[in-house]
Amino acid sequence: MKLDAKIPEGPLQEKWSRYKATCRLVSPNNKKKLDIIVVGTGLAGSSAAASLAEMGYRVKTFCFQDSPRRAHSVAAQGGVNASKNYQNDGDSAFRMFYDTLKGGDFRAREANVYRLAECSANLIDQAVAQGVPFAREYGGYLANRSFGGVQVSRTFYARGQTGQQLLLGAYSALSRQVAEGNVQLFARHEMLDLVVIDGKARGIIARNLDTGEIERHAAHTVVLATGGYGKIYYLSTLAMGCNGSAIWRAHKKGAGFAAASWTQIHPTCLPQSGAYQSKLTLMSESLRNDGRIWVPKKAGDDRPPGEIPEEERDYYLERRYPAFGNLAPRDIASRAAKERIDAGFGVGPQRNAVYLDFAHAIEEYGIDTIRERYGNLFRMYEKITGHNAYKRPMMISPAAHFSMGGLWVDYELMTTIPGLFAIGECNFSDHGANRLGANSLLQACVDGYFILPYTIGSYLAGELGTGKISPEAPEFDAAEQAVRDQLARLLSIQGSRTATDYHKELGALLYDKCGVLRTREGLQQAIDDIRALRADFWQNLKVPGSAAQVNSELEKAGRVADYLELAEVMCYDALTREESCGAHFREEYQTAEGEAQRRDGEFQFVSVWGYTGPEEEPELHREGLVFQTIQPSVRSYK
């Protein structure tokens, strides 16, 4: 596996403009001869499909939801970062670049991160032009708020529904292209395999989820924008349908999988209330602007929060990280919460939560201000838990949220399979070992609106002589047969356990061994356990019905089968990285104060995993990280 990041020459600030000025272009009359498949219709997928169609390419777009507007970008609450410096607090593209790189614990490529910061301002312009109703000040100008891990206010927001509004903006742009006939939309379709012909990505096999039909779709290039795989933990902030199948199946066809184990555990989610639980709802990180996190100083304190006096409360984030306090980055806040919970200071009926308290903020700003800032979040909290957070503190708990890891991509967002691009959360590029809040929407949009439209042209300029790709090629036959065989196999087992049952067990295992805290022994044990679980899955799975009908159990089973393979790579990834960085915290590698200990000498690289065959150990490749502009420092938020 050759890992050439293809970073342009020149000073950091000029790399992207140089690239844009010199990359190969496709002329307008040639674009309509080129077909592009975009899988996924979240922010990355919709924005890419809309942009590419607008440029003149012929686009097919796929999503498993019943409408592109439902992709899980819709659920992002807090906001989107951009270095506009509207607040005159000293923000700039460079500062944003530095914050992001530091937030990711210096485990991302400088050039990619700088480009993200550089394009951020343009995204706000773009979204406003589409009619995204961002929050505004009374003078009519855009408002900002603060997010974790930074000391400026650069987050733009639309109440607690920023992701929804940005997605609807992208969806409207996509809809416009569908109406103009430039995009063919395939909703309720799930990609089940990638077709590679002569080493290049040339199409996909998809299943129509409403009829069960297996379809072939050919194109000159395939773009994956399928989001994160945090649902592998079963209990997560992700949607029920979120999955890693598209990228995993691309991985099995040769795409390198980077930093598989770097999963962000989000500190402010609603705690699990019972075994039936299907997801953990995220409460926006923006709540940490005004909410204070604490646990009782006495372990097992059973008093209601209101009866615990001030001096018997431990505001542990403020205590440990005085400079950033409650706005410490997510990985740090999650780890600190887990540390308290594991030490017996957890609150709530299951003792698995910490308090997020607004009493001080209400006292300081008044209940109306708090209601205006977070009213919808408080209401959501009450709907789910039945408790009023104006009166008593919220109870929150960490939950799996974002996958920093994903398909390895170069500067052009192309994977190790030529012609296969990965954009948005499904790739590994900009966030390093930990993503800062409000950078996820940004990355998805920037990849789709501003980067891929340029870089894909560079690839497609070399494809003009290829002619139409035929879906009758033998590679399509083979891929379709493999898909049919797998579906038949899943249906034929007829054992006694459902796919969800396996998924829950896998999730619990990963939380325990490959979650916030990891150890060598735990990960080694996990690999064995996952193998055993996978073997049991293929012996004992029960999927009702047939493949020729609507069958959500069959869909789930296919996804869980992939998770059972991906989970193993995650554990190898975490096991071989003998350092702590960002979201990856190895118990063996910590400072005396219990903070993460990076080992730049040995591990200043990105682990990229190659597929070697079923039941084979994955193969590790390394992309070394070179820091030319800044020097990695100890990531301190104290």
Nearest-approach distance from CB 612 to another protein, in angstroms: 34
Nearest-approach distance from CB 174 to another protein, in angstroms: 9
DSSP helix, strand, coil percent of the chain (3-state; round to 5): 40, 15, 40
Q: Which is closer to another protein, CB of 75 or CB of 205? A: 75
Determine the residue type at 389. Answer: A
The torsion angles phi and psi of 445, rounded to 5 degrees, stand at: -70, -45
Q: Which is closer to another protein, CB of 299 or CB of 550? A: 550
Nearest-approach distance from CB 419 to another protein, in angstroms: 23
| Nearest Cα residue to 35 out of 508, 407, 449, 419 | 419
Q: Which is closer to another protein, CB of 116 or CB of 327? A: 116
Q: Which is closer to another protein, CB of 75 or CB of 510? A: 75
Nearest-approach distance from CB 337 to another protein, in angstroms: 20
SS3 for 429?
A: coil
Q: Look at phi and psi of residue 454 and say left if phi exceeds 0, alpha if psi is from -120 to 50, else beta.
A: alpha
- C-alpha span between 579 and 596 (Å, rounded): 8
Nearest-approach distance from CB 70 to another protein, in angstroms: 4
559 is catalytic: no
SS3 for 293?
A: strand
Nearest-approach distance from CB 65 to another protein, in angstroms: 6
Q: Which is closer to another protein, CB of 41 or CB of 112? A: 41
The helix (run of H) or strand (run of E) holding residue 195 is strand 189-197
- C-alpha span between 470 and 6 (Å, rounded): 30
Nearest-approach distance from CB 550 to another protein, in angstroms: 4
Q: Is 335 exposed, middle or buried (0-12, 13-18, 19+ CB in 10 A)?
A: buried
Q: Which is closer to another protein, CB of 102 or CB of 159? A: 159
∠ CA 612-508-383, rounded to 5° = 125
Annotated catalytic residue, options 330, 373, 586, 598: 330
Neighbours of 9 (CB within 10 A): 8
Exposure on the CB side of residue 368, measured as CA atoms within 13 A: 0
- Beta-carbon contacts of 91 under 8 Å, excluding residues fewer than 6 positions away, are 83, 84, 85, 152, 154
- What order do you get walking across the sheet with 605-610 strand by strand? 427-428, 406-408, 257-258, 605-610, 619-624
Q: Which is closer to another protein, CB of 294 or CB of 381? A: 381
- What order do you get walking across the sheet with 200-208 strand by strand? 189-197, 200-208, 214-218
DSSP β-ladder status, 221-224 and 35-39? parallel
Nearest-approach distance from CB 625 to another protein, in angstroms: 30
Q: Which is closer to another protein, CB of 80 or CB of 433? A: 80
- C-alpha span between 159 and 162 (Å, rounded): 7
- Beta-carbon contacts of 227 under 8 Å, excluding residues fewer than 6 positions away, are 40, 42, 44, 71, 72, 73, 238, 242, 424, 425, 426
Active site residues: 330
